[in-house]
Structure 1
Amino acid sequence: MSDTPSCPFGYGAAPATTAATTAEHPHGAQLDFSGDMSYGDYLGLDALLSAQHPRSPHHDEMLFIVQHQTSELWMKLMLHELRAAIAAVAADQLGSAFKMLARVSRIMEQLVHAWDVLATMTPPEYSAIRPYLARSSGFQSYQYRCIEFLLGNKQAELLKPHAHRPELLAQVDAAWRAPSLYDESLRLLARRGLPVPASHTERDWTQPYVASPEVEAAWLVAYRAPQQHWELYQLGEELTDLEDAFRLWRFRHLTTVQRIIGDKRGTGGTSGVGYLRQMLDVVLFPEIWTLRTAL
């Protein structure tokens, strides 16, 4: 057995033997990758690491760019998992859905901690680069808008910031028109025999969700007999974990923005901290939270 430590992507470890073995590290690590696919080739690092183009002469702009680019990469993965989880719930494949939803919650935790890095930017440092941002803003992120819509926060007016890019608008519009994760969860409860009203299983999916005492009563059936309705009970807790993580992300976003720009308006035209504070009041899966009082 080799004394060389291993890790998932071979950092510091000897990779599997390939055609390129003409040069080797004393511990057996391959050094010549001519003719082979390398780590950088597989990950497309040339394109990824050349995508940072600061527009100002200020040192701190690189932090601002990398922070938001990495967040968009995490959101790309989140959408990949979230769409698959919704499809799995719709197909009664809850084992797969639970794994994907747990992963979405962990991704959200990564996004929460990303604010810790951005918070090292001081108000004067941000003020120096802000003029170079023009009207660009995270409010315009089409991936974030898709996430909001897939989680049920449907607002038709939020399609407008993407109207200038028809190919992106099509993706956001599709998320707006589709049943959300919570919609599909309620349809699942109904298929399992729980008393979810038809008003919440067949409706106009583009409309904002409206909480219902009848839906809370249906969830309570599962929560009062978890052994009998174990999968539905677990689904409820996966939704709780996800919204809990999302709330933390929103709160950390608010505090970071307030720390850096105070009460100034956002570059995208929002009220800044005021808008973010309003978003803290948005509840995605309301009956999952209110049922706890009744237990």
Structure 2
Amino acid sequence: MRKRHCPEPSVWNSSFTVARAPQPTFAIRRMAVHDILFLHDDPALFAEYDRRFGDRYRTKRSGSHLPQRFVDLYETAAKGVAPKSEYIAYQSIDTLLSLQQPHTDHPAEMTFYLVGQAKELLFKLVYEEICAARLSLVVDEADKAAWNLRRAAKALGPLTTTWDVLSGISPAEFNAFRDQLGSASGIDSFMYRMLEFTLGRKSESMARRHADVVGVSESVHRALHRSSVYDEALELLHRRGLLAGASGDGAWEPEAARQAWARVYQEHGPASDLFRLGETLVDLAHAFSRWRSLHLLLVERTIGNKPGTGGTTGIDWLRQAAEHRFFPELWEARSVLPSGAPPW
């Protein structure tokens, strides 16, 4: 396929834009021996190539004079395993970079597509750190949990800057490929949903959106019904004698939790692991709120008041999300702290 602005160069002469034509054009020709350059990584196409030209490589008959590059590509494709450097193998880079399949050739869609995938990877990073922090709190290792929470909060930094990248897509550019999204929406990110559940914002209705997705629904269900990292933080305060009463099903009275955190700040200083835990939780919640607020601004800047693609109301939905705070009693404790220097 040739196009007016296709930048694909010739293999042997990079200054020759072989695929450029005044009008979109299909060029049909017979398969040639040099096509190993283009189809070596496609098993089905290579099988046909091998049927037609494989004898030239196998017999090395006189007069074939195949370039060494052709031979190397043929032998690699015949083995079915591409050679990898240790870096590529360790990070699965070839697999990772093969997962970008935008639905149009508009360059802005590739930006949108790649940023979406990067966000999912960062959601997973934050989720794994939160899960590790939760387990540390179960065994009373508050400082170890705080260290995991600190890394999670740091990871929310690059997550927030993804909105800066997407702000480079103009409304007209986004509209050029938006219809290709169909009903696809970030609201159905199961990794994000599991992250919210693990932080303490549980929702049966949000979990039901994944009920029919095999392999996903089970993970979402577990994240919904197990204790959150905040549940375990409150349980730790209770074991340390700061949170009175009994939670029963894990739902502590908000006023009791608010007073417990106020005591941590008033009676304990930075030398206390509970103080450090509280501040790290707030760091994380603060970073998350910044991410949500910038999301709201970006969507309003790009699509205005249009409905969201996933059946949401768009910016109204995002505005409600931006106003939510994780660990609410920890935030509210600031309001009940007395004036003056603390005793520590």
TM-score, normalised to structure 2, is 0.71
SS in 1 for 2:216: helix
Q: Does 1:140 align with 2:188?
A: yes
The residue identity in structure 1 corresponding to 2:300 is Q
1:38-93 CA-to-partner distances (Å, cap 9, x unmatched) read 21111111110010011113111100110000011111111111101100011111
What is the one-letter code of the residue matched to 2:115?
Answer: Q
Contact 1:211 1:287 in 2 (8 A): no
Q: Give the Å deviation of 1:179.
A: 0.8
Trace 1:81-120 onto structure 2 (pairs within 5 A).
81-120=129-168
Q: How many residues align?
A: 256
Q: Which residue number in structure 2 is paired with residue 224 of structure 1?
A: 266
| Per-residue deviation, residues 87-135 of structure 1 (Å, max 9, x unmatched) | 0011111222111100000111111111100010010100011111111
The aligned counterpart of 2:88 is 40
1:292 aligns with 334
Displacement of 1:250 in angstroms is 0.3
- The one of 299, 305, 329 equivalent to 1:263 is 305
Question: Secondary structure, in 3 states, of the residue corresponding to 1:167?
Answer: coil
SS at 1:237's partner residue?
A: helix
Maintained 8 Å contact 2:153/2:283: yes
Which of 1 and 2 has higher RCO (CA within 8 Å, sep 6+)?
Answer: 1
Q: Distance in 1 between matches of 2:83 and 2:177?
A: 43
Match of 2:275 in 1: 233
Q: How does 1:153-232 map to 2 (within 5 A)?
A: 153-199=201-247, 202-203=248-249, 212-227=254-269, 230-232=272-274
Matched position secondary structure for 1:166: coil
Q: Which moved more, 1:38-47 or 1:240-249?
A: 38-47
For 1:166, give the aligned amino acid.
V
SS in 2 for 1:60: helix
Amino acid in the other structure paired with 1:275: W
Q: Which runs of 5+ in 1 are unaligned?
A: 1-33
Note the C-alpha offset of 1:36. Answer: 7.6
From 321, 330, 334, give the equivalent of 1:279: 321
C-alpha distance in structure 2 between counterparts of 1:271 and 1:164, whole Å: 23
1:185 and 1:268 map into 2 onto residues whose CA distance is 34
Q: Which amino acid in the other structure matches residue 263 of structure 2?
A: V
Give the distance between the partners of 1:227 and 1:245, measured in 2 at CA: 23
Q: Which runs of 5+ in 2 are unaligned?
A: 1-81, 338-344
**Structure 1 equivalent of residue 63 of structure 2:** none
- Please state how far the C-alpha of 1:166 moved relative to its aligned partner: 2.7
CA distance in 2, matches of 1:35, 1:46: 10
The superposition leaves residues 10-60 of structure 1 with CA deviations (integer Å, 9 ceiling, x where unpaired) of xxxxxxxxxxxxxxxxxxxxxxxx988421111111110010011113111
Measured in 2, the distance between the counterparts of 1:188 and 1:150 equals 16
Q: Where do 4+ consecutive residues of structure 1 move more than 4 Å?
A: 34-37
Bigger radius of gyration among the two? 2
State the distance in 2 between where 1:36 and 1:265 align: 45
Please list the CA deviations of residues 221-259 of structure 1 after superposition, one character each: whole Å capped at 9, or x if unmatched. 211111498111111101110100000000011001111
Give the Å deviation of 1:287. Answer: 1.3
